[in-house]
Amino acid sequence: MPWSPCSPEPYPGIGAHWRARFGQPVRRVGLDPGFPCPHRDPRTGTGCAFCDPASFTAPSAATGPGRPVAEQLATGIAGLRRQGVNRFAAYFQPRTNTNASSGKLVAAWDVATRPPEVVALCVGTRPDCVPDPVLDLLAEYTGGREVWLELGLQSARNATLRALHRGHDAGQFADACRRARQRGLLVCAHVILGLPGEDAADEAHTAAFLAASGVEGVKLHQLAVVRGTPLEVRWRAGGLAVLDEAEYVDRTVAFCRQLSSATVLHRLVGDPAQERLLAPHFNKGRVVAAIRRRLRSATGNENAGPRAGVS
Ligand code: SF4
């Protein structure tokens, strides 16, 4: 299915995009195949400075890791059907979902795309964990459905990536993005705003980098300080400031304005597990509404109708 922006609205949310493409609501079903992150040292537990594995949005006990993907999918679909949703996106979210043997990847993706009501497949991973054979495998699932490769970038500044201990650089992201798009995969870049040492100009650089890379989607998060991460130590010592709501709205709107207005915004605000979150504490609905209002106004479309919320 060739890519084209489906929703007439600027900077559509993924919900609006899918509704325009498939003619009805599509909701994600989070799946955890249990593939590990290759960047996290199993002995020390160290990984990216902001990452706490325990803060990944926890699937319910019924759909959680350790259960077969087919069972997770069936449980998730059943729950959404009770809400009147009949089309689904299989979303492999936590950790690094391309870090497994080809046999395990195919087994997971086959199961996830077997129901005809699954119209999209979303796979989150790292830019340095998508060799050509893996992309070739994933591209086999594009027939009749959207396949999104979600690549963590966070920043296009290599100095920032080093400071965050990301273990890859911006060039690796650009290369992965190019190879994925060559195969008909849609690329969604994950970006964090408010990173240590970055200001709006740095974020504008990242947005311009993504616009040049041709990504079809972006997922935005605020820098969040979570218990147990290296950032917690810096934050408690007073060496780390986080954005407040108003600053985050300003920075997000400025960032989005650097992108093509056809870019699908998969998420506008992160949603860390509240019990592990130290700062900042946002009212997500209020922040999303403010960003949406400003983006409509920025594109001269402030009178447009209600928007599907980004998730
Ligand atoms: S953010 Fe992703 S790549 Fe980094 S340690 Fe966490 S799971 Fe691994």
In a 10 Å sphere around its CB, with 0-12 CB exposed, 13-18 middle and 19+ buried, how is residue 167 labelled? middle
192 CB less than 6 Å from ligand 1?
no
Average pLDDT over residues 62-86: 90
In this structure, what token pair is assigned to residue 254? Answer: 């400025």
Residue 79 pLDDT exceeds 90: yes
For position 55, what pLDDT does the model report? 59
Q: Which of 35, 44, 95 to mutate to test the pocket of ligand 1 (most atoms within 8 A of CB)?
A: 95
For position 58, what pLDDT does the model report? 46
107-142 pLDDT per residue, tens: 999 999 999 999 999 999 999 999 999 999 999 999
Query: Are 27 and 73 spatial neighbours (Cβ–Cβ below 8 Å)?
Result: no
Lowest mean pLDDT among 7-21, 37-51, 67-81, 209-223: 37-51
- 14-298 CATH fold: TIM Barrel (3.20.20)
What's 129's DSSP letter? S
Confidence of residue 64 (pLDDT cuts 50, 70, 90): low
Q: In sequence order, what DSSP letters do the residues of 190-259 get, joined into one string?
A: EEEES-TT--HHHHHHHHHHHHHHT-SEEEEEE--EETTSHHHHHHHTT------HHHHHHHHHHHHHTS
Nearest CA to ligand 1 atom 7: 95
Compute the distance from residue 202 Cα to the ligand 1 centre, in Å. Answer: 22
Task: Give yes or no for a cis peptide into 38 (omega within 30° of 0).
Answer: no
Kindly report the length of the chain: 311
Compute the distance from residue 48 Cα to the ligand 1 centre, in Å. Answer: 6
